[in-house]
A and B are shown apart, each in its own frame.
Chain A
Amino acid sequence: MTFVQQEFLVFFALVLAVTWGMPLVGERRRVAQNAVLLVASAVFYGWVEPWMLGLLLASTLLDYGVTLGMARWPDRRKALLALSLVGNLGMLGAFKYLGFFVQSVGDALTALGFVVHWPTLNIALPVGISFYTFQTLSYTLDVYRGKLSPRRSFLDVALFVSFFPQLVAGPVERARDLLPQLERPRHAAPSQLASGLSLALWGAVKKIVVADQVALYVDRCFVLSEPPPSVLFMASAAFAVQILADFSGYTDIARGTARMLGVNLTHNFNRPYLAESPSDFWRRWHISFSSWIHEYVYLPLCGSTETRPSAARRTFATFGALLISGLWHGAAWKFVLWGAYHATLLTLWRGMSQRSPISPPRLVRIGLMLTCTVFGWLLFRMQDADTLRHVLQTAPWAGWSRAWPTVYALVGVTVAGGGLLALGGAIEARASTIATSPWRPTVELGWWALAASLILLMARSTQSDFLYFRF
């Protein structure tokens, strides 16, 4: 089930009514609420492919057992951690990367002149496996490091792994943030319900009114054979708007619906296209995942935390973290290339900023970073290596006489979509002022009506999935 299906509205209304309407008090009410949310999460996740629930359950049971084992047999913590890593990453690898690995090895052998007749593996990718695998691993890693005590309640741990608003596309929550909220009694507060609805509607507007409309144009440009480079560059700029609207839209719906259920999820985006440097971009884009990679991949690769790592070690860690980050997005070389591109940007920027005595003005830095980011999206979005080869081998202005109306049309789409996102972001930044105003209900009711009108007017007849469902 996805957030923009009509079924979800009925489903969520039911969950909300049962969660807040149950005639229980105290701990019994909390446990019952968590049980309802766990069942709801199972329904949400297994709506189309119930077999995928088996993997989710296996992952949950593994980490539940491993963390309890760590408490019981402290001297075997390392072995238990290895068991969790092998189990979770093994499942992720088998379902997400095995086919890609087999094909890549086959292609390499064929290129070397060997005759390879391997069957093509068509393994179904379980939705959200990359997200919940990282989420559940963070629990085990935090328990291993002593930052968190293992939980005895299977219900709470299972709900932490499978909490439906963020199950399939994040934010990737840390156990230390989400678990305590699930262990506390939660009460319905009208202001929380209202602000959650406002946020969820803003997410839906981003997805339906911006991302899905921009996608109409972007999708067409990226399947053209040998398109003029100017079309591809402008389509990449439009894609930058699309992917931000799509992914942050999902996050806002997730955060809004969770808030209505009494749970606060972490921020995932902080105006990423206003980043002034590559490192600043990664502090603003997909924050929950970037910080996960930083904490559990980059820092361990840097080695000791007590001494400052050498430049070479930091470069190694940067490339390691961003190549994993790229591959996490999908089993394809273009994502690896995208990760390597960003690692190169980070390394170059670090080197330049240490040597350069002057810093360009802020607007210039933002413009430069935005240009680099848009080129990165070209790598991320391109259909195949031929597209990149074509772009690199063709003069940027080639085909301009035929391409310019399309480029201008894409400018219109990009400016309109980006403008709407910027306007919404500016209003969102003043949400706290609105929240304390006596006119809050007026603003909220007006916004709900406006959002509903925009969604009804602009919704496509065939709704598309969220982009990050594929990862």
Chain B
Amino acid sequence: MKPTPKALALGLALALTVLGLAAVGVRALASRVENPRASQAVERITSGAPWIVLGNSVAQSVVDPARLAERLQVNEVAQAAIDGALGPHVAALLRHHPPDSGATLVVLMPTHNLLAGRLPSETDRALLVELLRAPDAPLTTLALGGAVSPLDLWRRDRTRARSALLSAVTATPLRVAGALSGVPVRVDETLTQLGAEAGPVAGPSGPLPGALPGRAVVEAEELAPAVSVLPLLVEAAAAAEARLIVVVPFDRRRQDAPCRTTPEDEAGRWLVERGVSVVDLRGAPLAPDAFSREFHLHNTGRAQATDLLAEGLRAVGPGAYWSGACGR
């Protein structure tokens, strides 16, 4: 049957309505939720804890905050590392959500992540926009190639809305089961790992056994220290009157590396010259089977790794370099 002009006009109107509703719906949904990865990190960095760990999943796999607090003999260590974060995300967190003055900030992530320049993926860009509270030209020029664009805002909203939808899908059976059994359910951060990009999964249980893999990551370009986010990090730490310690993480490939007494990498040298303490754990005596990947550790290796990290943090002086390989 031949389509009539009326049917075509109605179809166009319907299509435009659907697209409009979708756009409004995404915006409405996004305004009601936040990216859980970002909001959790913001909450922790501003919690007033005297020691704060920043970084990415490597920091999450290495540091047991309670054990570190015990070893450092401090009240609390806040874990504000964000899964999948790169240097610009840490800088955004620090510049836009400064901690209490006098805090000690431990930045723990592989050096190539720390020196990342232009963010390579949509998820990375959306996370950065999520962390910004105001325009930040130095940071966005470096990480986004310019100011935050409407497309970046769409990406942020899209990421939030998608995460909220997937979270609702995974949480609904739990909520139904909880309502039927009378057992309340809560969103458990340990299960957020299950869905990777997908956002939180509701549930009361502890972590699943076994190593969880990382996301497929498009590597960002690695910049020279002077033009990377390092100057912004140093500046932000100084503005917050916080002590900054950069930790070079354990590295499975460097377990046999010879003892080093001087910082051998450019980033370490650059930081030490500017009064930042550097703890280099690359050659630290950590059992090879503690690693699940090059930088990530199994849960079983975390206690020993936290102890080694605490040893380095206690030993390193202001603006000094400490290597786990030589114990100095």
Contact = CB atoms under 8 A, between A and B. Distances in A.
Interface string A401-444: 11111101111110110000000000000000000111111111
A225 B205 contact: no
Contacts of B16: 449
A409 B174 contact: yes
Given A213-B198, A442-B7, A460-B197, A413 B170 contact: yes
B310 interface: no
Interface stretch (B137-145, B207-215, B255-263, B278-286): B207-215
Interface string B101-115: 000000000000000
Interface in B123-166: 123, 158, 161-162, 165-166
B184 interface: no
B172 interface: yes
Given A220-B194, A412-B170, A412-B172, A405 B188 contact: yes
Contact of A406 (B12, B169, B203): B203
B3 interface: yes
A457 B26 contact: yes
B15 A445 contact: yes
8 contacts: A224-B208, A405-B204, A406-B201, A408-B170, A409-B174, A409-B203, A438-B1, A453-B18
A462 B3 contact: no
A79 interface: no
Closest 7 CB pairs of A and B: A405-B203, A445-B11, A453-B22, A225-B210, A449-B15, A461-B122, A409-B170
A216 interface: yes
Given A409-B194, A453-B22, A462-B216, A438 B203 contact: no
Given A408-B174, A443-B11, A402 B169 contact: no
Given A450-B18, A457-B161, A411 B173 contact: yes
A5 B169 CA distance: 27
B173 A449 contact: no
B3 A438 contact: yes
A224 B8 CA distance: 52
Contact of B19 (A408, A452, A461): A452
A443 to B, nearest CB: 7
A219 to B, nearest CB: 8
Q: What class of interface size applies to chain B in its complex with A?
A: 35 or more
Given A446-B11, A449-B19, A462-B121, A412 B171 contact: yes
B217 to A, nearest CB: 8
A280 interface: no
Contacts of B171: 409, 412
Given A441-B7, A457-B158, 6 more contacts: A217-B198, A409-B170, A442-B11, A453-B18, A457-B22, A460-B197
Contacts of A456: 22, 158
Contacts of A442: 7-8, 10-11, 14
A449 B10 CA distance: 13
Which label, helix, strand, loop or mixed, suits the secondary structure of the A interface?
helix
B209 A226 contact: yes
A231 B195 CA distance: 14
B4 interface: yes
Contacts of A415: 173
B203 A462 contact: no
Nearest to A399: B209
A219 B214 CA distance: 11
Interface in B190-246: 191, 193-198, 201-206, 208-213, 215-216, 218
B195 A405 contact: no
B218 to A, nearest CB: 7
B177 interface: yes
Nearest to A442: B11
B24 to A, nearest CB: 11
A405 B195 CA distance: 13
A351 B205 CA distance: 45
A227 interface: yes
Contacts of B165: 457-458
A223 interface: yes
A401 B206 CA distance: 9
A94 B122 CA distance: 40
Interface string A372-415: 00000000000000000000000000010111111011111101
A446 B15 CA distance: 4
A446 B3 CA distance: 15
A448 interface: yes
A415 B170 CA distance: 10
B154 to A, nearest CB: 9
Contacts of A399: 209
Interface string A349-369: 000000000000000000000
Contacts of A411: 173
A446 B14 contact: yes
B93 to A, nearest CB: 21
Interface string A340-356: 00000000000000000
Tell which of A213, A224, A231, A445 has the most Cβ of chain B within 10 Å: A445
Contacts of B18: 446, 449-450, 453
B205 A406 contact: yes
Contact of B173 (A409, A439, A444, A450): A409
A220 B210 contact: no
Contacts of B162: 457-458
A413 B16 CA distance: 30
Nearest to A438: B1
A449 B20 CA distance: 10
Contacts of A412: 169-174
B234 to A, nearest CB: 31
A412 B3 CA distance: 40
| Most chain B CB neighbours (cut-off 10 Å) among A225, A443, A450, A457 | A457
A225 B209 contact: yes
Nearest to B172: A412
Contacts of A446: 11, 14-15, 18
A416 B170 CA distance: 9
Given A220-B193, A409-B171, A448-B15, A213 B166 contact: yes
A404 to B, nearest CB: 7
B203 A408 contact: yes
Contacts of A413: 169-170
B100 to A, nearest CB: 34
B210 A226 contact: yes
A211 to B, nearest CB: 14
Nearest to B4: A438
Determine which residue in B170, B185, B198, B210 has the highest number of CB atoms from chain A within 10 A of its CB, and name it: B170
B203 A402 contact: no
B208 A406 contact: yes
Contacts of A220: 193-196, 212-213
A19 B15 CA distance: 28
Contacts of A227: 208-210
Contacts of B2: 438
Contacts of B185: 405
Interface in B166-182: 166, 169-174, 177
Contacts of B12: 445
A356 B140 CA distance: 72
A412 B171 CA distance: 7
